[in-house]
Amino acid sequence: MEIKGVNLGNWLVLEKWMSPALFAGTTAEDEYHLPLQLPPEVYEARIRIHRSEYISERDFAAIRRMGLNAVRIPVPYFIFGDRPPFLGCVEELDKAFAWAEKYGLKILIDLHTAPLSQNGFDNGGICGVCRWSRTPEEVAFVLDVLERLAVRYGGRQALLGITPINEPITQSMWDFMDVPNRYRAADPAMAAGSAPNTMEFLYQFYEEAYQRLRRHMGEDKYVVFHDAFQLKAWKAFLTRPHFRGVMLDTHQYLMIAEVLGCEQTLEGYLRYIRENFAREIAEVQSYIPVVCGEWSLFNSCAAGVDTKGGQNVFNGMDFSGNEEKMSVEAKRHFYQQLAHAQLAAWREGAGYFYWSYKLLLDTVNEPEWMGWDSWDLGKCADLGWFPVGG
């Protein structure tokens, strides 16, 4: 099966930039601090309404109609409702499985956050904090969550696999992203002692997670390991004889390529996609299945301003004076070329999941979000930027 999928980002794991209205009336920059700044009844109402309206059965029908065959669903560590004040969301995931099975879609469950965070990103649940791997009781908690997920869904027809943890950061990416400054901690005391995960820890954690998950899943279900931003560092680990049904997940974004020196032109992007994305994925695919679990059409050239690695107004960037620099036809051609090139690169591996299916931004009336509609796959398809059928 060639995976042609999309992420249901910001449904069960919140990201402020994808739905700013959820954070209205607070200074919270991440999901951890949101319930600390709202009355409990207000928080619960917001979350329950958001979850019921953001994704529904109709969306699964639409995703299938677009020619896709899979969804990657980020879930939080508190999915089972045992970490107050956060609200569990296993009922929503139950519904997703029923919808997926009705419409013939596969689901990759992605544990997207960990207590005290595995990366310090806003999408890791709490900005500027990265202490999970140094807190043994929280590592044990995550392993228990994973096993409970495998018990609950391991026999479901729609299950493609489970990702034990999303984007665990290691030293090189910690330095590259300058995490403490880009994602400033709201509580410096909580962030004290934060540091990237070691590869030694990840080897141990991935081994234990594999054993826990495999007990309850057949070998037709994948254990999907994120590459920790080091795509070519896993050959010796993942090709060991006892591993069955494993896959490597890599996230490849043009905005990161820009910071690495990719020229911000169509020709520059196409060259980088061909010489880096496609070549490296083909190399890894030769010994282990590799899926591009996150990518998008977003780039600084089409956005009209250097986003310095995808930073937005919540990172302190000022895009208020930004003006459209491409005609409708030129932008369509630009994005179509990027889509075809990247889809070709992902076909060198096992497939892809676009980030993301939708977001709630007014990219027309709010200049600071101009260009950010390229994160929204539904808009990309409707505007002719992304080929329906993938």
The domains of the chain are located at 3-13+57-382
- Report DSSP state, residue 110: E
Whether the pLDDT of residue 320 is over 80: the answer is no
DSSP of 218-273: -TTSEEEEE-TT-TTS-HHHHTSTT--SEEEEEE--HHHHHHTT--SSHHHHHHHI
Q: Average pLDDT of 319-329?
A: 82
Radius of gyration of the chain (CA): 20
Q: Average pLDDT of 26-36?
A: 97
Q: Average pLDDT of 207-227?
A: 97
The CATH number of the domain covering residues in 3-13+57-382: 3.20.20.80
Contacts of 13 (CB under 8 A, 6+ apart): 31, 74, 75, 76, 112, 113, 123, 125
Whether the pLDDT of residue 389 is over 80: the answer is no
Distance CA 31, CA 50 (A): 13
By C-alpha distance, which of 153, 173, 172, 155 is closest to 163? 153
Q: Percentage of the chain with pLDDT > 90? A: 90
Q: Are 258 and 310 in contact (CB under 8 A)?
A: no
pTM score, whole prediction: 0.97
> What pLDDT, on the 0 to 100 scale, is given for residue 390?
61
Distance CA 263, CA 258 (A): 7
Distance CA 347, CA 41 (A): 47
- Report DSSP state, residue 351: E
Reported as a single tens digit per residue, the pLDDT across 124-159 is: 999 999 999 999 999 999 999 999 999 999 999 999
